[in-house]
Amino acid sequence: MQNRKFKYSKFLLNKNYNFNRDYVLKYLPSKFLIDAYKSISKWKGYHPTPLLNLNKLKKDLKLNNIFYKDESKRFNLKSFKALGGAYAVEKIFKKKNKITVSSATAGNHGKSVAWGAKRLKLKCKIFVSQHVSKTRVDEIKKFGAEVIRVKGNYENSLRKCQILSKKNNWSIIQDVSTKNYRYVPQLTMAGYSILIREISEQTNQYITHIFLQAGVGGLAAGLVAGVAKYFKRIPKIIIVEPDRADCVLQSIKSKKLKKIKIKKESIMGGMSCNEMSLVPWQILKKATNCCVSVTDNNVARIVAKLKDKKFSKASIIGGECATPGIIALIGIWNDKKTRKLINLNQNSNVLVIGCEGNADVKLYKQLLSKGRK
């Protein structure tokens, strides 16, 4: 089996690990999570996304279960991000009424904001860097948003968004929190947390390990808050990042928020981030058991294996960011010492997050064809 060759890049145990439900819910309060579920579950077309079982892979790795939360089916937007930005737009709209919303994005978040704006008939301005593909831009435009291209990287696009939003009195809906900007990102994370609420009703097995992919950490922190609120037992929280953009691993290692230099962007574009968001840092610095980083090398292979039923009975459409949890799981499993260290064995019920489908159709086709070679 080819899986035997998979390796992870770096592994780090968090020396400050101390999971405390009250502490987590101090940074993302329970009332946010309750309101997010109440609101989103009323949206037209809402239904829980499937919780699949990678039963072929589980057999191969001799684990009890490997659950795969399939976010390719989320509101026709093909990613979990549908839950965050659109929910934040709704909340801010209810407070302010008649607004123009704006955001900077690597793709999926902006699509969610644009969709949320369209649902409420609001004007929407989305800022993207030169790295965001035309396919992703076209997806955002489909929802009627104006897309503004900015030279340089994500940070440049964010700066431009902030300057023009201030000038024009647009409401910024950003998923990244800083010292003076917490509420809107907290709303987006609360939106993500409903994944965990759904899972708590989709299986009665206790999850023992969760592999959470991270860019700025919003998804991971939102799901950790969901775990604190909805799960009876606390699983091991394993953060996975591209080795080219391991800002969570480096921050946990240095015990402080660390900005890193990205020399080359990862193919996992949504996770190619150089600095964590502040609220996720506050949550993840204690709730994370361990961090693991992976290369881009196996992304295409996993995309193809998911599609070609090598891991499960069903064919699964998983985009580039849906793969790192599986890559990290197999990589850790292949390293006996690390496998033992995190108690990965025949009793384990592992959860990986299939956070996106073919959100970038063109890239997905390329990866699929490369992975099949």
Ligand X SMILES: Cc1ncc(COP(=O)(O)O)c(C=O)c1O
Can residue 244 be called a binding residue for ligand X (CB under 6 A)? no
Binding mask 322-351 for ligand X (x = CB under 6 A): ------------------------------
Nearest-CB residue to ligand X?
270
DSSP at 44:
T
Distance CA 136, CA 189 (A): 22
Please give the size of the binding site for ligand X, defined by CB under 6 A. Answer: 19
Our CB check for ligand X shows the closer of 108 and 349 to be: 108
Q: Single out the residue of 110, 116, 191, 218 in contact with ligand X (rule: CB under 6 A).
A: 218
Query: How many residues belong to the chain?
Result: 373
- CB-CB contact of 325 with 352 (8 Å): yes
CB of 232 to ligand X, least distance (A): 25
Q: Single out the residue of 69, 74, 91, 109 in contact with ligand X (rule: CB under 6 A).
A: 109
Distance CA 47, CA 70 (A): 12
Q: Which amino acid is at 256?
A: K
Distance CA 25, CA 193 (A): 12
Q: Single out the residue of 88, 219, 223, 299 in contact with ligand X (rule: CB under 6 A).
A: 219
Beta bridge partners of 351: 67, 210
Our CB check for ligand X shows the closer of 215 and 235 to be: 215
Our CB check for ligand X shows the closer of 99 and 176 to be: 176
| R_g (Cα) of the chain, nearest Å | 19
Output the furthest CA–CA distance in the chain (Å, rounded).
58
CB of 313 to ligand X, least distance (A): 24
Stretch that binds ligand X, among 88-96, 114-122, 154-162, 266-274 (CB under 6 A): 266-274
Can residue 193 be called a binding residue for ligand X (CB under 6 A)? no
Our CB check for ligand X shows the closer of 114 and 321 to be: 321
- Chain-centroid distance of CA 337 in Å reads 28
Stretch that binds ligand X, among 94-102, 143-151, 215-223, 310-318 (CB under 6 A): 215-223
Can residue 214 be called a binding residue for ligand X (CB under 6 A)? yes
Q: Cite the beta strand spans of the chain per DSSP E.
A: 10-13, 51-53, 65-70, 100-105, 123-129, 146-150, 171-172, 209-213, 236-242, 290-294, 349-354
Q: Cα–Cα distances in Å, from 136 out to 31, 304, 327, 359?
A: 33, 21, 25, 7
Can residue 217 be called a binding residue for ligand X (CB under 6 A)? yes
Q: State which of positions 304-323 bind ligand X (CB under 6 A).
A: 321
Of 162, 30, 156, nearest in space to 103 by CA: 162
Stretch that binds ligand X, among 92-100, 213-221, 301-309, 342-350 (CB under 6 A): 213-221
CB of 255 to ligand X, least distance (A): 20
- Residues contacting residue 102 through CB under 8 Å, at least 6 positions apart: 124, 125, 126, 127, 161, 164, 165, 170, 171, 172, 173
Our CB check for ligand X shows the closer of 53 and 174 to be: 174
Stretch that binds ligand X, among 135-143, 224-232, 265-273, 282-290 (CB under 6 A): 265-273
Can residue 271 be called a binding residue for ligand X (CB under 6 A)? yes
Distance CA 267, CA 232 (A): 36
Q: Are strands 65-70 and 51-53 parallel, antiparallel or unpaired?
A: antiparallel
Residues contributing to the site for ligand X (CB under 6 A): 79, 81, 106, 108-109, 213-220, 270-271, 273, 321, 355-356
